[in-house]
Amino acid sequence: MDRFLLLSDGTVFKGRSLGAEGSTSGEVVFNTGMTGYQEILTDPSYAGQMVILTYPLIGNYGINEDDFESDRIQPTSLIVHEACESPSNWRSRQTLHELLVERGIVAIQGIDTRALTKHIRSKGVTLGAIADTQKEAESILSGAPSYDELDFVYQVTTRRAYKWGPAGRESIETEDDPKRPRLVVLDCGLKYNILRRFWAAGCRPIVLPATTPADEILDWQPDGILLSPGPGDPQRLKPVIETVKSLLGERPIFGICLGNQLLCHAVGGHTYKLKFGHRGSNHPVKDLKTGQVTITSQNHGYAVHQDSLKGTAAVVTQLNLNDGTVEGIECPDYQARSIQYHPEAAPGPWDSRPYFAQFVQEMSSRRL
């Protein structure tokens, strides 16, 4: 069955149906990773977006029960060149198409994803709509809100506090091991692998909604605070930024991706929207102190204005080698630091995993 993708500038791509029946819209972005489609589909940072996967064959190792990064599909749609109908992997339980149908996600295949990606790279990210006819797509797109006008963090954050243990999500009433430092996670769009990595590093994660005020966070008597990744424009999150401001200096703070941007705003910095964002598993980042370059996994559409940090408590510590954007800061006066990329990977390289053990060590040192 034919299916159409229409961009807001009038560009049309004709393909074939994939996933559920119906229509959808969102901000069209691309990810250059060769693997990790299941993790990408369940990453809350993709909320409100239609994700192009540039690798031509998607779904060849199927869908398994272990690699979900949240409890639901987060993008509004998936755009691929070809979806594999016969996956081969010992962990596979269903095909990509079956997952999309099960979760009600409208997708499209059979289009020239290389041409579409080059178009986005040249023109910048844009709104798009997918429907069974071009006329229907035009109607949907005419009434679609701008991505930048929506507060996605409040849509994806947990509604209830919970703890994370060796088997995953646990009741908030579950007893803690006193030997493990307590990490409070402000959930702005959390991936499960962040919690897995912190548990493996020896701490006890406690996840709270993004709307939790500073005094309630401190009531948990945390040894450290994590500002999680998440979707959307950080400038729209004024209440969360005020919470971070109130927490500065109270406990060690570590921010990841959106958490980096929130920390920068909290100390007086600003952010801006990138032309087409950083989404993939091979972004080189240089540490300005050591000169070391690591290959990182990234997923964000906004970046920190480096000049806006001048005169603030923040020091830029890392830069992206592709475009020179800020990839990390430190605030020595507040024992706070953050990075713009994803050390938990899922998908991606493990170069940055030591950050988990380092922050747990900071929390443990505070208890001595």
Based on the structure, what is the number of domains in the chain?
A: 2
Q: 234: number of CA atoms within 13 Å, CB side?
A: 31
Cα 357 off chain centre by: 21
pLDDT in tens, 175-212: 999 999 999 999 999 999 999 999 999 999 999 999 99
What value does the mean pLDDT take over residues 336-363? 96
Cα 60 off chain centre by: 23
Q: Are residues 157 and 139 part of one domain?
A: no
Closest to 58 (Cα-Cα) out of 108, 2, 122: 108
- Banded pLDDT at 356 (limits 50, 70, 90): very high
pLDDT in tens, 134-183: 999 999 999 999 999 999 999 999 999 999 999 999 999 999 999 999 99
The last residue of one of the domains, among 145, 176, 202, is 145
* Three-state secondary-structure class, residue 165: strand
Q: Are residues 139 and 275 part of one domain?
A: no
Q: Are residues 158 and 140 part of one domain?
A: no
Whether 343 and 197 have beta carbons less than 8 Å apart is answered as yes
Whether 326 and 306 have beta carbons less than 8 Å apart is answered as yes
* 257 carries an active-site annotation: yes
Predicted local distance difference test score (pLDDT) of residue 51: 98
Active-site residue identified among 39, 264, 342, 362: 342
pLDDT in tens, 40-98: 999 999 999 999 999 999 999 999 999 999 999 999 999 999 999 999 999 999 999 99
Cα 156 off chain centre by: 11
Q: Are residues 349 and 271 part of one domain?
A: yes
Q: What percent of the chain has pLDDT over 90?
A: 99
Q: What is the CATH number of the domain that holds 41?
A: 3.50.30.20
**What are the structure tokens assigned to 63, written together?**
């869908």
* Range list of H helices, the chain: 37-41, 96-102, 113-123, 134-142, 153-156, 192-200, 214-219, 238-247, 258-266, 354-367
Q: What is the CATH number of the domain that holds 336?
A: 3.40.50.880
Q: Is 111's pLDDT higher than 80?
A: yes
Q: Which domain holds residue 97?
A: 2-145
Q: Is the dihedral of CA 206, 280, 236, 268 positive or negative?
A: positive
Is the omega angle on the peptide bond into residue 178 within 30 degrees of 0, that is, cis? no
Cα–Cα dist 249/332, whole Å: 10
Active-site residue identified among 257, 265, 300, 331: 257
Cα–Cα dist 323/198, whole Å: 30
| Size of the chain in residues | 368
CB atoms within 10 A of CB 158: 17
The last residue of one of the domains, among 125, 145, 165, is 145
Q: Are residues 305 and 230 part of one domain?
A: yes
Q: Are residues 74 and 202 part of one domain?
A: no
pLDDT in tens, 256-282: 999 999 999 999 999 999 999 999 999
Active-site residue identified among 39, 69, 327, 344: 344
Cα–Cα dist 184/38, whole Å: 27
Q: Are residues 343 and 285 part of one domain?
A: yes
Say which residues have a Cβ less than 8 Å from residue 79's Cβ, sequence separation at least 6: 5, 28, 50, 51, 52, 53, 107, 108, 109, 111, 113, 116, 130
Q: Are residues 105 and 183 part of one domain?
A: no
Predicted local distance difference test score (pLDDT) of residue 366: 83
Q: Are residues 215 and 170 part of one domain?
A: yes
Q: Are residues 363 and 250 part of one domain?
A: yes
Cα 143 off chain centre by: 26
Q: Is 27's pLDDT higher than 90?
A: yes
The last residue of one of the domains, among 145, 176, 192, is 145
Q: Are residues 234 and 134 part of one domain?
A: no
Question: Strand pairing partners for 209?
Answer: 187
Say which residues have a Cβ less than 8 Å from residue 236's Cβ, sequence separation at least 6: 151
Closest to 233 (Cα-Cα) out of 208, 285, 178, 270: 270
Q: Are residues 165 and 99 part of one domain?
A: no
